[in-house]
């Protein structure tokens, strides 16, 4: 039984804890400990009381296989807890893996564990992490990042994605798949998945015709999605579709289609070796040069550089 120690404190985010805890627990292959400064009830930021089974004095630092530091609004106050930070530093020295969810990365950084490493966190904490720790390579686009034995993730559901990747890393795809199926999760949402994915961050259509157009683009990004094509699917004239689509989503159809295609390209580049030219044809860009221009415009790097950046993560994502 591999021991996973979840570190919490007053004001932690309950889902940052319970989501990963359920992933590990369901396998039956991990011993899960909830650790705080003192054993006993610890109140989450939502007011939910959670019983910490162990205080830091109860758990020898050398007995932890995977250390997971949970995030939450109370993290800034928890950083003043020198006993907690010292225990995190001691446990991390011998742990096989050191991980964080959301703003828990700040406690790892305070413990002096992340100097020079590439890390992520919830997008809302990006500026703080950059300002306080200029020596870190902060990248708040991916939902989780692995740098050696250190894994960091964005918040809430990204913690479950991280935990699932750790389970797969330990016990293989079949075990991870069984967990994902039981918890009704999307298996293998890759670490390269953007925190700013189109379905999450674009405005949502308010009418059935525009919903039909959006659903068609998301279902098959590489299909023909000219204004005329989308108008036919939505039952509107091309002119009416253009006007209503822009009003409801805040961007014209062509810009939305490009965003969805670029996001599909990001996933494909991070997960496979498909040549850029082949990828461009499959996803509707036509030519590799068109894909490169759109990719650089939206992501800020060339597709080949993006693939190299995530090449080392694919085995574990």
Q: What is the pLDDT of residues 6-63, one digit of tens each?
A: 999 999 999 999 999 999 999 999 999 999 999 999 999 999 999 999 999 999 888 8
- Structural domains in the chain, CATH included, are 2-182 (3.40.50.880), 197-317 (1.10.10.60)
Res. 196: pLDDT tops 60:
no
Q: Which residue in 25, 55, 57 sits closest to 42, CA to CA?
A: 55
What is d(CA 221, CA 245) in angstroms, rounded to the nearest whole number?
17
Average pLDDT, the chain: 89
Ramachandran quadrant class, 102 (left: phi over 0; alpha: psi -120 to 50; beta: rest)? left
Res. 186: pLDDT tops 80:
no
Question: Pick the catalytic residue: 102, 138, 164, 217?
Answer: 102
What is d(CA 239, CA 118) in angstroms, rounded to the nearest whole number?
47
Helix and strand numbers (H, E) in the chain are 15, 11
pLDDT of residue 237: 95
Q: Which two tokens stand for residue 300?
A: 């800020």
**Tens digit of pLDDT for each residue in 272-286?**
889 999 999 999 999
What is d(CA 266, CA 217) in angstroms, rounded to the nearest whole number?
16
What percentage of the chain carries pLDDT values higher than 70?
Answer: 91
Count, residues in the chain? 317
**Lowest-confidence range among 1-10, 182-191, 280-289?**
182-191
What is d(CA 22, CA 160) in angstroms, rounded to the nearest whole number?
9
Q: Which residue has the higher pLDDT, 301 or 81?
A: 81
User: Would residue 32 show up in a list of annotated catalytic residues for this protein?
Assistant: no
Q: Do β-strands 150-153 and 144-147 pair in parallel, antiparallel, or remain unpaired?
A: antiparallel
**Tens digit of pLDDT for each residue in 102-126?**
999 999 999 999 999 999 999 889 9
How far is the CA of 77 from the CAs of 47, 190, 284, in angstroms? 16, 32, 49
**Tens digit of pLDDT for each residue in 244-282?**
999 998 889 999 999 999 989 988 887 788 999 999 999
Please say whether the beta carbons of 225 and 252 come within 8 A.
no
Whether the full predicted model's pTM is greater than 0.85, yes or no, is: no
What is d(CA 150, CA 275) in angstroms, rounded to the nearest whole number?
30
Q: Which two tokens stand for residue 270?
A: 């991070």
**Lowest-confidence range among 52-56, 67-71, 174-178, 191-195?**
191-195
Ramachandran quadrant class, 188 (left: phi over 0; alpha: psi -120 to 50; beta: rest)? left
pLDDT of residue 3: 96
Res. 315: pLDDT tops 80:
no
Once rounded to an integer, what is the mean pLDDT over residues 210-227?
A: 92
Q: If residue 49 lies in a helix (H) or strand (E), which one and from where to where?
A: strand 49-52
């Amino acid at each position: 039984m591999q021991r996973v120690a979840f570190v919490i404190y007053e004001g932690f985010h309950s889902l940052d804890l319970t989501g990963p805890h359920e992933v590990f627990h369901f396998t039956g292959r991990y011993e899960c400990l909830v650790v705080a400064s003192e054993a006993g009830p610890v109140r989450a930021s939502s007011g939910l009381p959670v019983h910490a089974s162990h205080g830091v004095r109860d758990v020898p630092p050398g007995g932890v296989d995977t250390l997971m530091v949970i995030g939450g609004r109370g993290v800034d106050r928890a950083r003043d807890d020198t006993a907690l930070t010292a225990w995190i530093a001691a446990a991390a020295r011998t742990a096989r893996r050191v991980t964080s969810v959301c703003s828990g990365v700040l406690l790892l950084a305070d413990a002096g564990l992340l100097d020079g490493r590439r890390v992520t966190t919830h997008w809302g904490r990006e500026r703080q992490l950059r300002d306080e720790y200029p020596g870190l390579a902060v990248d708040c686009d991916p939902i989780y990042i692995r740098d050696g034995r250190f894994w960091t993730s964005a918040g809430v559901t990204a913690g479950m994605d991280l935990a699932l990747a750790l389970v797969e890393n330990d016990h293989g795809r079949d075990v991870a798949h069984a967990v994902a199926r039981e918890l009704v999760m999307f298996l293998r949402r890759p670490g390269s998945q953007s925190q700013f994915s189109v379905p999450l961050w674009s405005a949502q259509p308010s009418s059935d015709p525009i919903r039909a157009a959006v659903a068609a683009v998301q279902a098959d990004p590489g299909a023909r999605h000219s204004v005329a094509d989308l108008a036919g699917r939505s039952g509107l004239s091309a002119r009416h579709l253009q006007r209503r689509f822009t009003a409801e989503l805040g961007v014209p159809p062509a810009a939305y289609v490009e965003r969805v295609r670029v996001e599909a390209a990001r996933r494909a580049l991070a997960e496979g070796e498909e040549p850029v030219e082949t990828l461009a044809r499959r996803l509707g860009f036509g030519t590799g040069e068109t894909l490169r221009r759109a990719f650089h415009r939206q992501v800020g790097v060339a597709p080949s550089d993006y693939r190299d950046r995530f090449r080392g993560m694919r085995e574990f994502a």
